[in-house]
Chain A
Amino acid sequence: MHEASIADGLLRTAISVCRDNGFSRIEIVRIRIGRASGVMPESLLFAFDALKAETIASESSLVIEEVPVAGYCNTCKRDFTVSGSFILCCPYCSSNSFTVKSGRELDIIEVEVGEDEVKDCLKDT
């Protein structure tokens, strides 16, 4: 439900990083989203595309890397990954004593930027 506010924050960060580095166009925004973060990639893409219009990111695409939920079992000492969005118990030994190692990510990784092409209509005259 709040993917729009997340997309808004994401765009603001990307735009300010792009400008701060002297570039005028955003081509790709890469982010990492854990499956336990509660954020739906489809909704985020939809919100991003709606909000990017009329910004320097208007032609950009959002590339989402999904991170599975992984844990470490404190009982049988094994690493494991689950397919859902949370860990209920260790899939090997059913222990409730585990440490969540990944799945809550909501990170911006990088922005690919470029310069607007210089308008050279004056050159030929």
Chain B
Amino acid sequence: MKLKIASKILDANERIAQDNKRVFSSMGVYVINLMSSPGAGKTSLLEMTINELDGRLKVGVIEGDITGTDDAARINALGIPVVQINTGSACHLDANMINEVLGDLPLNDLDIVFIENVGNLVCPAEFNVGEDIKTMVLSLPEGDDKPLKYPLMFQESDVLIINKIDLKPFLGVSIEKIKSDALSLNPSIRIFEVSCKTGEGIDEWAKWLHSTLKA
């Protein structure tokens, strides 16, 4: 006998993601799902952004890592509320993992929560966690072929932050190619060029965050 189902395989995740989103928005918190390859500079970007915002926006952070608490310690050192999720072996954060830590952040006192996903350019793109926008970081040493090699990540992201632009003189990498390929895959993607080493471009990204939250 055939039983018709017609449901999305990721329905369960999607339902929890919607629940999370309702909780965040009822507290007036804007949520950014931050994704990249390992080592692209997600945590450094958070440190620079937190310093640049200098308390003008109240920030909270959820750190996702397979194991370890190094990233959470770096954020904690800045006096920012942070909760660490260890996924064990999972290559991405899912909505249920976020749901379980909602009570561990003082959401009522926050304007914005960054969810730093597990470093991985593939799987995190497929799991909504209850965010308002997805932001990805691509660092120049990864190469300018990445948009066409990992199209889903670029298609799903609302913002692309190109990091480590201070290394451009040492690399045969074209920022223009990264930008034009990313825009071909996703014409509405917003692109920032930054260096978390020199601080270049961080002000523009922070300014954009400000105006987005006010809107």
Contact = CB atoms under 8 A, between A and B. Distances in A.
Interface string A83-123: 00110110000001100000000111111111000000000
B9 A2 contact: no
B7 A108 contact: yes
A1 B185 contact: no
Contacts of A89: 184
A86 B92 CA distance: 22
B124 to A, nearest CB: 9
Contacts of B5: 13-14, 17, 108-111
A42 B5 CA distance: 23
Contacts of B105: none
Contact of B126 (A2, A10, A112): A2
A112 B2 CA distance: 4
Interface in A4-26: 5-6, 9-10, 13-14, 17-18, 21, 23
A23 B4 CA distance: 14
Given A13-B5, A21-B3, A111-B3, A38 B126 contact: yes
Interface residues of B, number: 31
B91 interface: yes
A31 interface: yes
B123 A38 contact: yes
B187 interface: yes
Contacts of A23: 1, 3
A57 interface: no
A37 interface: yes
Nearest to B181: A88
B3 A18 contact: yes
B1 A2 contact: no
A36 interface: yes
Given A9-B12, A106-B10, A107-B7, A2 B2 contact: no
A36 B122 CA distance: 12
Contacts of A6: 9-10
Interface in B130-175: 148, 151-152, 155
Contacts of A107: 6-9
Nearest to A20: B3
Given A13-B5, A108-B6, A5 B94 contact: yes
Contacts of A31: 9
A99 to B, nearest CB: 11
8 contacts: A2-B127, A9-B12, A9-B13, A13-B7, A109-B6, A110-B2, A112-B3, A114-B1
Interface of A: 1-2, 5-6, 9-10, 13-14, 17-18, 21, 23, 31, 36-38, 85-86, 88-89, 96-97, 106-114
Interface of B: 1-13, 90-92, 94, 120, 122-123, 125-127, 148, 151-152, 155, 183-185, 187
**Sorted from nearest, which 8 A-B pairs have the closest CB atoms?**
A86-B151, A1-B91, A106-B9, A2-B123, A108-B5, A111-B3, A110-B4, A38-B152
